[in-house]
Structure 1
């Protein structure tokens, strides 16, 4: 791994994001249709949280065995994005290195890191999969 490689080299730029006014069913469908597992939550351009497919799955379990509409109804009528998202988000700055992201992700508490500007604006996202691909390319 190049010691000072910028995180922007491997981060996904302009990642899918959601805002607090959206319904959880929309988030669930975004995960399903786009194949993503983590989604930053923004207010304007500012990162305010992150939500994962696992967060939605845990809530969907309550409607287990029912049809898609019932699952969506449970999600939309009982919960908001603010209630489900992780508001205490660990992120990296756009001028941080791949090494810094690797150190954070290696702790194993989560599998994605939003990339933000010094003003807190969402610039990208890097996942453990992005990091593994980078390492494979290096070696």
Structure 2
């Protein structure tokens, strides 16, 4: 059983991301992003699929058991608040793979539809690259 939440909020897992994994709705895009990081950390592939926008959701999602997600840094947010329909969260997700530390940096886009935030994907560059 986890005590501290993997998302780094400083709260316990059960009252933080565990509540979202159990069915509570994320109030902001940042909270959804944090809960998705925690889902990767605890191996909750069903939550990841459920919170992925249907237009970009992969058919299969098999988290790599050799990757251990260790720490999350939220670098910036744009929109994604209580009254927004869209949001962007820039983050750095630290992990260990085959004993080596590394990090993934991404600017993720989110959309809220029917009151629920979903992850759309990495923000695209203006030139489409």
Tell me if both proteins adopt one fold, taking TM over 0.5 as the criterion.
no
**Higher percent of residues as helix:** 1
Higher radius of gyration, 1 or 2: 1
Give the structure-1-normalised TM-score: 0.29
